[in-house]
Chain A
């Protein structure tokens, strides 16, 4: 078990799980940022957490572009994306606390980009005034229940500090 901590986020990673926390890129774009992970002028930088049970490549998009293409049927990926604090009061982020995911929540039409066999889910919520989106991808529905269980146990260790 290893612990990943940064920008007010802490998560414990069991065997085989990797994690990366970065501040979303702000203009001018860094050459290390994936084109799908570049911010816009004036944007305030907020953290993004990626966890997966496979090697995470550098330069991923905020919702896993560059990583999800490498997934096999036994892999699972999740992105925790923080939005600006001003969004916290909006209806989209009305749910309180980290959602608990189930296999039935995952669907092919919830993917950012459809990839054969993959299933996704997206949930918006707020924790201590910090608005987030949790986006998760399963490599396939085969062993889906076990993979979701694994992801759930990782997310159960997630600690979000108040701003």
Chain B
């Protein structure tokens, strides 16, 4: 009997140690989660501070975050020598950088061959740009490109826009002469959805006149941001939350 009591005591002691270990680990996890959720900083972590001498924060230029756009010059599939304007014009341009050799471009070529899939806001131009004739197969292109689709061959444009690979889509704001968005997609349809969402213009899906929520909302938001930053109020500032 005494032996049995001793064994049970040892088992209970071991279990108590295990439970204590588990509780400690659980406590560590909770503390880390609390820190991640804007809780107290870890020991040694540098706290974000504003300079107490309060140097004025220069207001960023409007849309300074956008890269400068470039006009595109090149040669069409039919051999036409072309100079187009994207900068300082009334219209916006969607540049689709595609190639004949990339498998993921095939969906785009297929979709672009069907005019019914191409819907853009009125006044927005679609320009498909491949690399120049020295790097691209003109013969293949002639087979791929449907009449009516504006396709230019221009290695210079790929360089200007620092195209990382194809397919790559760049949306250029003609009035500001700046890139307003860029990235890739799996299909033209997907790109159109992204453009519609990011610009707030459903005409990227429906075609026709712009269905805005136009850039006005974004412009107003950017203007408010600039004013706040000029006043030294940065993201996370307690004054933003009525403190």
Interface residues of B in 67-93 (CB under 8 A from A): 71, 73, 76-85, 88-89, 91
Specify which chain A residues have a CB less than 8 angstroms from the CB of B83 in the assembled complex: 2, 4, 13, 18-20
Residues of B contacting A33 with CB < 8 Å?
A: 78
- Asked if A111 CB lies within 8 Å of chain B CBs, one says no
- Which residues in A have their C-beta under 8 angstroms from that of B151? 58
Known: A20-B80, A58-B150. 14 other contacts (CB 8 A): A13-B83, A15-B85, A15-B88, A17-B85, A20-B76, A21-B81, A22-B76, A22-B78, A22-B79, A32-B145, A32-B147, A56-B84, A58-B147, A58-B151
Q: Which of A2, A23, A30, A31 contacts B71 (CB 8 A)?
A: A2
Q: How far is the CA of A22 from the CA of B151 in the complex (A)?
A: 14
Query: Which of A5, A17, A18, A32 contacts B77 (CB under 8 A)?
Result: A32
B71 neighbours in A (Cβ, 8 Å): 2
Chain A's interface: helix, strand, loop or mixed, by majority?
loop
Interface positions, chain A 78-134, Cβ under 8 Å from B, are none
Contact B85 A23 (CB under 8 A): no
Q: Find out whether the CB atom of A21 lies under 8 angstroms from the CB atom of B80.
A: yes
A22 close to B80 (CB less than 8 A) = yes
List A contacts of B85 (CB < 8 A). 15-18, 55
> Which residues does chain B contribute within 8 Å of A20, judged by CB atoms?
76, 80-83
Residue among B79, B88, B147 making CB contact with A23, cutoff 8 Å: B79
Contact B150 A30, beta carbon cutoff 8 Å = no
Closest 4 CB pairs of A and B: A22-B80, A6-B81, A32-B78, A21-B81
Taking the closest CB of chain A, its distance from the CB of B83, in whole angstroms, is 5
Residues of B within 8 A of A17 (CB): 85
The contact string, 1 if C-beta is below 8 Å from chain B, for chain A 25-37, is 1000011110000
Q: A interface, how many residues as a size bin?
A: 20 to 34
Contacts of A56 in B (CB 8 A): 84
Decide yes or no whether B119 CB sits under 8 A from chain A. Answer: no
User: With an 8 A cutoff between CB atoms, is A39 at the interface?
Assistant: no
Bound form: Cα–Cα A57–B91 in Å? 13
Q: List 8 A-B contacts (CB under 8 A).
A: A5-B81, A7-B81, A18-B83, A18-B85, A19-B83, A20-B81, A56-B84, A58-B150
As a 0/1 sequence over residues 151 to 192 of chain B, the CB contacts with chain A under 8 angstroms (1 = contact) are 100000000000000000000000000000000000000000
Residue of A5, A6, A30, A59 near B148 (CB, 8 A) is A59
Chain B 81-121 residues near chain A, CB threshold 8 A: 81-85, 88-89, 91
How far is the CB of B154 from the nearest CB of chain A, in Å?
A: 13
C-alpha spacing A22/B77, complex, angstroms: 11
Q: Which residue of B lies closest to A31 (CB)?
A: B147
Separation in Å of the A110 CB from the closest CB of chain B?
26
Query: Which of chain A's residues have a CB closer than 8 A to the CB of B78?
Result: 22, 25, 30, 32-33
Task: List the A residue with the shortest CB-CB distance to B123.
Answer: A55
A15 to B90 Cα, complex, angstroms: 12
B149 within 8 Å of A by Cβ? yes
Given A2-B71, A6-B81, A31-B147, residue A58 in contact with residue B76 (CB < 8 A) = yes
Question: Nearest residue in A to B84 (C-beta to C-beta)?
Answer: A18
Expressed in whole angstroms, the minimum distance between the Cβ of A143 and any Cβ of chain B is 15
Give Cα distance in the complex from A15 to B88, angstroms: 7
Do A55 and B91 have beta carbons less than 8 Å apart?
A: yes
**A4 with B77: CB separation less than 8 A:** no
Asked whether, in the complex, the Cβ of A55 is within 8 Å of the Cβ of B76, the reply is no
- Residue among B73, B81, B145, B148 making CB contact with A22, cutoff 8 Å: B81
Considering the chains assembled together, what is the distance between the CA atoms of A58 and B76 in angstroms? 9
Minimum CB–CB distance from A106 to chain B (whole Å) comes to: 23
Residues of B within 8 A of A5 (CB): 81
Please give me the residue from chain A that is nearest to B71 by CB atom.
A2
Which chain A positions have C-beta within 8 A of B148? 57-59
Give the residues in chain A near B125, CB-CB below 8 Å.
55
